[in-house]
Amino acid sequence: MADSIYRAPKGTRDILWPDSARWRALVEAFADVVGAAGYTQVVPPMFEHVEVFRRLGDATDVVAKEMYEFLDKGGRSIALRPEQTASVVRVFAEHRPVVPWKVWYTGPNFRYERAQKGRFRQFDQVGVEALGPDDPHLDAEVIALAWRFYERLGLRQVTLLLNSLGNPDDRSRYVDALTAHFSADADALSEESRTTLATNPLRVLDSRRPEDADLVAAAPEMLDFLSDDAAVHFARVRGALDALGIPYTVSPRLVRGLDYYLRTTFEFVAEALDAAQDAVGGGGRYDRLAEEMGAPPTPGVGFALGVDRTLLACDAEGVFDAPATVIDVFVVDTCGGDEAVLLTDEVRRAGMRVDRAWDDRSMKAQMKAADRSGAAIALIVGEDERSSGTVTVRDLRGDAGQQAVPRAELIETLQTRLP
Ligand code: AMP
C-alpha cells in the first residue's frame, strides 16, 4: 500500500513522550557508562560519500540492497549512513587524532529493510569505537562496557555470543574451506543460500532455512582455522572476560552482517525477545578499515547497540521505566497571568521544572490542569495573595495541605518540600 502523505513513511515512527523521555534517559545512561571509561563523543554527519560505506563489503545486504543512495544536486554520490563504524573510521582517517582514540556516538542509521516489529528503516544506535591498541584487553573493555550498560538498565537476560574470525589469512582459508563444504552439496542448499554462497560464503552460516540446517551444522568451524597469534588474542580476550565475571558463549558460527570484522566478533542476544528481533547489539575488531580509508594501519574495535531493540528488551523484562514526571510545580494565577509570568521564570531559574495554565481560565479549570500535569505542588496566586505579597503552596499528591508563604521565602520553601 502506498504511504499516505501525512503519515510517517513506512519503516519509520514518531517517538513521543513518555517514550522520548525514556529514550533520552537511555542515551544519558550510556554516555555515563562510557564517559567513565574515557570515551568522548563524536558526531559525524548522517550522510557520507557512498565509497565510505562500500568498505562494508559490496556483497553485504546492508550495502548491496538496503542503502539509501542518491546523487545530490552537485552530482555527488551520497548515501545516508546504514551504520556508524565506517563514518567514525572515516573521521579518524581524516583528522588523525592521537591514539588510543576512544569515542562514542548515538544517532539514526538508515537501511531499506523489510519493516516489522523491532526492524525499522530509520533506527538509532549507541556505540563506541576504540582505535589504536591491538591489546586484547581493549576488546574486553569494549565488551564489558556494553555489559555494564545492560546491567545499568536493569537487563538480566542478555547472552553474550563470542567468536574470532581470525586474521585475514585465517579468514580466507576458512572461507575456502566453507566454500568447498557447501559447494560439494550445493544441490541440497536452499536457492537463497546457493546465491549467497556465490557472493559471500560466510553468510550461508546465518541461514535459518530448515533445508540448510544439516549442512550448516556440519560446516567447518572458524576456530579450527585460527593462526597462533589470533588464537592467543582470542584466549586473552576470554581470560579477561572470565576475570571480570562476564559470562559468554563461544559461538563458532557467529559471522555478523558486515564484512570488515576480523578476530574478535560478538553479539548480544536478549533472551526475553522473539528470535526475529533478539539481536540487541554487536561488534568486533576491524583492524584493516582505517588503512583502507587512507590512515596509517590502525587496529580498531567497537560495538553498536540498537536503541529500539534494547528498549523492547527492557519492556520484555519490565525494567527501565520511563521517567514518571515532567514537571515539579504548576502555577495557578487567577489575577490575569502577570504573576504567572514572573513566578514560572523565578522558580525555573532556581532549577525546578515549572509549567502553568494559559488563556485566563477559571480557578477550577486551572486546578484541573495542575492535577493533570503530574506536578507535586501548585502555586496559587489570587487577589488575596497578591495584596499580601504571598503565594499559596498546595500539596497536590501527599497530605501536606496548603500554606501561604511570603514571596521572599518561596524558593526556600519549595526546595525543602520537593524531593
Ligand atoms: P549491525 O549494525 O547490523 O551490527 O546492528 C547492530 C544492532 O543494531 C543490532 O543488534 C540491532 O539491535 C540494531 N539494528 C540493526 N538493524 C536494525 C533495524 N533495521 N531496526 C532496528 N534495529 C536495528
* Whether residue 177 has pLDDT greater than 70: yes
Shared-domain flag, residues 34 and 143: yes
What residues make up the domain containing 341?
Answer: 329-417
Residue 178 maps to a domain: no
Q: Which atom of ligand 1 is nearest to the CA of 281?
A: 10
Is 83 close to ligand 1, i.e. is its CB under 6 Å away? yes
| Residues 254 and 265: beta-carbon distance below 8 Å | yes
CB of 66 shorter than 6 A to ligand 1:
no
Average pLDDT taken over every residue of the chain: 94
Q: Is residue 300 located within the same domain as residue 372?
A: no
Residue with the smallest CA separation from ligand 1 atom 4 is 282
User: What is the number of domains present in the chain?
Assistant: 2
pLDDT tens digits for range 103-158: 999 999 999 999 998 999 999 999 999 999 999 999 999 999 999 999 999 999 99
The secondary structure of residue 8, as a DSSP letter, is P
pLDDT for the residue 70: 97
Q: For the ranges 90-94, 194-198, 290-294, 383-387, which has the lowest average pLDDT? A: 194-198
Residue in this structure with the C-alpha cell 540448510, named with its chain if needed: 212
Residue 361 scores a pLDDT above 60: yes
Distance 280 CA to ligand 1 centre (A): 7
Does residue 102 have a pLDDT over 70? Answer: yes
Give the C-alpha distances (Å, rounded to integers) separating 281 from 90, 126, 194, 253, 257. Answer: 22, 9, 28, 17, 12
Question: Given ligand 1 and candidates 123, 161, 273, 301, which is best to mutate, with the most ligand atoms within 8 Å of its CB?
Answer: 123
The number of the ligand 1 atom at minimal distance from the alpha carbon of 310 is 12
Which is nearest to 136 in space by CA: 237, 265, 238? Answer: 237
Looking at residue 337, its pLDDT comes to 81
pLDDT tens digit sequence for 52-80: 999 887 778 888 889 999 999 999 999 99
Residue 61's pLDDT is: 83
127 lines ligand 1 (CB under 6 A): no
Distances (CA, A) of 351 to 261, 347, 414: 47, 7, 11
This prediction has a pTM of: 0.93
Looking at residue 21, what is its pLDDT? 95
Same domain, 382 and 237: no
- Domain with residue 42: its CATH number is 3.30.930.10
Q: How do strand 329-333 and strand 354-356 relate by DSSP bridges?
A: parallel
* 201/40: higher pLDDT: 40
410 and 347 within one domain: yes
